[in-house]
Amino acid sequence: MRVLAALSGGVDSAVAAARAVDAGHDVVGVHMALSRSRAQHRTGSRGCCSIEDASDARRAADVLGIPYYVWDLSEEFEETVVADFLAEYAAGRTPNPCVRCNEHIKFAALLDRATALGFDAVATGHYARVVDAPGPAGRVRRELHRAADAAKDQSYVLAVMGPDRLARALFPLGDAPSKDAVRAEAAARGLAVSAKPDSYDICFVADGDTRGFLRARLGERPGEVVDADGRVLGEHDGAYAYTVGQRKGLGLDRPAADGKPRYVLEVRPATNTVVVGPGELLSVTELRGRQTVWLAADVSATDWTTALVQVRAHGDPAPARVRRSGADGLEVLLDQPLRGLAPGQSVVVYAGTRVLGQATIERAGRGWLAAGAPATATASAEPTATASA
């Protein structure tokens, strides 16, 4: 196959490209330039978009003996990922920019360009597995599964890609036993990035100050901090800087009457109000999702299906019952309460290691779904084949 390998400049993408070469594919490397202002991403930045990253990607391509190009996707990145990030916070929600980057950039803009140029697939350094399992009428069914290394699994942020793009994606590191093993492999291959630190935080917030970034882009919008009964406790400079479950940085000059910590319970953009209260009010048992992307047809629109759901990139899967709702909705009943879930977060549905679908949380709470739900599910999403493709 003709494979376009996305080279970020890190160790994972370099080893993934090397494995694609070893597999006999005709591989071309490409680095995505995502920042409009390259100067803001210098050595020591916390993201993955620095000029040094582009140089590291080029050196990796040289070692592998593959052609190398830089594609300027900064306009698409600004208009989709960054714009969505700002709009979601302004609307009182908590987005995950890595999910949106995978959706709009790595498996939309990049993959669409690759297809137009005649490539058969895109390979990335994500930790996830693609499994070819038996499907109906003897056809092969392509599935997305968790990586072999649970600590590095990135299926949560890949679930949004959809079945058509999954069919053209390769994740050569899916069966890697650990990040240490990947680093050792990189060193053995002579790749200079073998000891390069991982990128972290939000790549376009180079200094890690998300609140400062939001203030610079959205401006100051003073408002009130209130308790659950509506009593004014203090003021804020912008409700967009708060997220559900937040404890620090509330700016209140007096403690709660019972001395217990206060947490953000809700952000109300319509009134520019931040609601705070005791931690026990953060527990939710039900979720409603929107913009659902399904990778499997296992979940019913009528019966509740037993499954696992994950609500944070590095969170633990939680037992739940799920069902489709309307054209693009998802409803979730959790077996046990979870705390601090905010609108805008991603919820990913699993059957064992297999990803069934993903949605953006629209509402989280208690009582409004369970009233009409059965005590147990009437259908079950069972784990399927787990052999690596």
Q: Which residues are catalytic?
A: 101, 203
Q: For residues 45 and 47, what is the distance between their CA atoms, to the nearest angstrom?
A: 6
Q: For residues 316 and 310, what is the distance between their CA atoms, to the nearest angstrom?
A: 6
Question: Which helix (H) or strand (E) segment is 17 a member of?
Answer: helix 11-22
- Residues facing 379 on adjacent strands: 305
Pairing of strands 223-227, 273-277: parallel
Token pair 């979601």 is found at 88
Q: For residues 175 and 149, what is the distance between their CA atoms, to the nearest angstrom?
A: 7
What is each CA distance from 51 to 80, 184, 375, in whole angstroms?
A: 22, 25, 55
Instruction: Check if the beta carbon of residue 147 is closer than 8 Å to that of residue 129.
Output: yes
Q: What is the DSSP annotation of 223-288?
A: EEEEETT--EEEEES-GGG--TT--S----SS--TT-PPPEEEEEETTTTEEEEE-GGGGEEEEEE
Q: Is 259 left (phi over 0), alpha (psi -120 to 50) or beta?
A: left
Question: Which helix (H) or strand (E) segment is 166 a member of?
Answer: helix 162-166
Question: Which helix (H) or strand (E) segment is 344 a member of?
Answer: none
Q: What is the dihedral of CA 315, 285, 349, 103, to 10 degrees?
A: -70
Q: For residues 10 and 52, what is the distance between their CA atoms, to the nearest angstrom?
A: 10
Tell me, rounded to whole angstroms, the distance of Cα 173 from its chain centroid: 18
Could you give phi then psi for residue 118, rounded to 5 degrees? Answer: 95, 10
Cα–Cα nearest to 105, from 52, 158, 153: 158
Q: What is the dihedral of CA 287, 291, 141, 380, to 10 degrees?
A: 20
